[in-house]
Amino acid sequence: MAAEANGRRPPFPALLVRRLSLPALLLAAVVVAEKLDLWTPAIRGYLDGAFVFLSAVLAVRVLDALAVLWFTRGRRSLPVPAVLRGFVLGVLYLLAVFIILDTMFGVNISAYLGASAILTMILGLALQPVLSNILSGISLNVTKSFGRGDWIAIGPHEGIVVDTNWRETRILDRASNVVIFPNTSVASERIVNYSRPDCRTALLFSLKVSPDAAAGEVLDVLVEAARDCPSVVSDPAPRAYLTGFDESGLSYAIKFWIEDYSLKDIVLTDIGRLAWYKLQRRDIEVAVPWTERIQEIAGAIKSLGPLAARPEGPAAEIERITTILASSQLLRYPDGEREGGLIVPPEEIRELASRVYRRTYGRGEVLFRQGDKGESCYLVASGRIRGTIVTEEGGKPLTTDFHVGPGGLFGEMSLFAGLPRTATGIVDETAELIEIGASDFAVLLERNPDLAGTIADLVSERNARNLESFRRIKELSEQDIARGTSRSSILEHLRKFIRSFG
């Protein structure tokens, strides 16, 4: 019955067997017994009554099976809840018993009902909790407050409904425990159904940051973090709010929607993690109590000691970035006789290293999306980036993924040729990236006049080999493709850097 009530479509023969097997077997047994000439008239009367009752049960169950089949074959939910169906069937069976007793056996039912009033009152008081649960269960099913498979909150308890019957409702909570509620408790509690009117439900993530941070920048970071999370729906779009401020910082909240409420804790964790990385890269501090901040400062001063030498952080960082740049393919010949050799002298790489920064990105962050404008590229110092290219073949979208690991370059087409982004870049695992923008590269071009021509040769030749792939990317126009494969266009684009930033 549970399967039928939930709209699943059992095969018609299986449905009939399930609903009719028991009464049909009992009816057959009564018919066989009546054929035997072994009974007194009184016993034969009882057999006749049993025959009529079982025939009525069989007829009711046939009608019930046909009703279920009618709705489930039309892929519609049965309008009568399972609890109410069972109650109605029980009333019909009891009514058949009363009619048989009155018409076939001459029993005055009203007299029995009147005489048993005291007994009924006693039973009613004794069974009050059971009757209360039954009536509450009927009420919950009639109003369709929730159904099997819905994510709900009953008071402080959250979980997915695994069963609801005459007496109780069972939910599977987030700790994978089955919590059982009497229906009277459910009916008296505040119920929140996260699966209705549809599967989308809104969540809030709150945090407090330093009062020195620009409010507009923080709001943008929170919205960006929500958009980077794949479980957050795009419609409605995430929204960020400034909710208050005091001497310790400004309070913000991001409101977003998800379709799978079981992922609530995971999504909140992902958004908090992504927001933290984005805020750290912008030197925006998450606010902490002043007592903790004072303890941190005191501990730092104490660890230095009276004669402790200050570490040369900036110089060490420049050396590390120089090593990463020199070992990458950014400024090396990709092929030919000079394959692997540096295009510029080592001191120029160090000069570039002094202008760029190495920053940490969290897993799941979106660096840019296919079709976006951009004049920068990323060098992977550690971690991994996943690139996703969506092309069209035969009018159908085709998605191709590739990965870029340590030492690899990502997004260089926008820097070298000024093309729209040809792939979506997503941080596949926590990564340290060096972003090289047009202004950083302009200094290198200005100090090395022949560099622009060398890069134009290399990029135009490589793009010409990938011409067919470019034509399948719908974000690239014919003009973009022509510009990306033309040495003169690429050279002009690079020289524009010098004029704009030099």
CATH number for the domain spanning 449: value is 2.60.120.10
490: in domain = yes
For residue 401 the two structure tokens come to: 């993924």
Instruction: Check residue 43 and give its pLDDT.
Output: 84
CATH number for the domain spanning 164: value is 2.30.30.60
Q: Could you give the number of structural domains in the chain?
A: 4
Domain finish residue from 61, 95, 115: 115
Task: Print the domain residue range for 446.
Answer: 319-501
54: in domain = yes
468: in domain = yes
CA torsion through residues 54, 58, 63, 67, sign: positive
H or E segment to which residue 276 belongs: helix 264-281
**Based on the domain organization, do 469 and 412 belong to the same domain?**
yes
What does the DSSP 8-state code read for residue 334?
-
**Based on the domain organization, do 213 and 189 belong to the same domain?**
no
**Residues 275-307 as b or e (16 or more Cβ within 10 Å = b):** bbbbbebeebeebeeeeeeeeeeeeeeeeeeee
**Based on the domain organization, do 156 and 36 belong to the same domain?**
no
Alpha-carbon distance values, 366 to 162, 379, 421, 425, 433 (Å) = 37, 15, 13, 6, 13
Domain finish residue from 252, 273, 291: 291
302: in domain = no
Q: How far apart are CA 346 and CA 239, in angstroms?
A: 47
**Based on the domain organization, do 443 and 365 belong to the same domain?**
yes
**Based on the domain organization, do 15 and 90 belong to the same domain?**
yes
**Based on the domain organization, do 481 and 332 belong to the same domain?**
yes
Domain finish residue from 67, 99, 115: 115
**Based on the domain organization, do 45 and 66 belong to the same domain?**
yes
440: in domain = yes
**Burial class (CB within 10 angstroms; exposed 0-12, middle 13-18, buried 19+) of 124:** exposed
- φ, ψ dihedrals at 344, nearest 5°: -125, 160
**Burial class (CB within 10 angstroms; exposed 0-12, middle 13-18, buried 19+) of 333:** middle
CATH number for the domain spanning 248: value is 3.30.70.100
CA torsion through residues 93, 94, 97, 98, sign: negative
**Based on the domain organization, do 435 and 493 belong to the same domain?**
yes
Instruction: Check residue 76 and give its pLDDT.
Output: 56
Instruction: Check residue 366 and give its pLDDT.
Output: 94
310: in domain = no
**Based on the domain organization, do 375 and 469 belong to the same domain?**
yes
The position carrying tokens 């009525």 is 56
Decide if 289 contacts 279 (C-beta within 8 A).
no
Tens place of pLDDT for every residue, the chain, 502 residues? 444 444 444 565 676 677 778 888 888 888 888 887 777 777 878 888 888 888 888 888 888 877 777 766 655 555 555 666 777 787 788 788 878 887 887 777 666 555 555 555 555 555 556 566 667 777 777 677 888 899 999 989 999 999 887 778 899 999 999 999 988 888 888 899 999 888 999 999 999 998 888 899 999 999 999 999 999 999 999 999 999 988 778 999 999 999 999 999 999 999 999 999 999 999 888 876 555 555 555 555 455 544 433 334 588 889 999 999 988 888 888 777 777 788 888 899 999 999 999 999 999 999 999 999 988 999 999 999 999 999 887 778 889 999 999 988 999 888 888 889 999 999 999 999 999 988 888 888 888 888 888 888 888 888 888 888 888 888 888 888 888 889 899 888 888 877 877 6
**Comparing C-alpha atoms, which of 81, 64, 61, 73 is closest to residue 5?**
81
**Based on the domain organization, do 384 and 470 belong to the same domain?**
yes
**Which pairs from 483-486 meet CB under 8 Å and 24+ separation?**
483/417, 483/418, 483/419, 484/413, 484/417, 484/419, 484/459, 484/460, 485/460, 486/460
Instruction: Check residue 9 and give its pLDDT.
Output: 47
CB within 8 Å of 135: residues ≥ 6 apart = none
**Based on the domain organization, do 226 and 277 belong to the same domain?**
yes
464: in domain = yes
Q: How far apart are CA 339 and CA 217, in angstroms?
A: 44
Q: How far apart are CA 320 and CA 3, in angstroms?
A: 64
- In DSSP terms, which residues pair with 153 in a beta bridge? 158, 192
127: in domain = no
**Based on the domain organization, do 284 and 395 belong to the same domain?**
no
**Burial class (CB within 10 angstroms; exposed 0-12, middle 13-18, buried 19+) of 198:** exposed
- φ, ψ dihedrals at 182, nearest 5°: -60, 145
- In DSSP terms, which residues pair with 377 in a beta bridge? 436
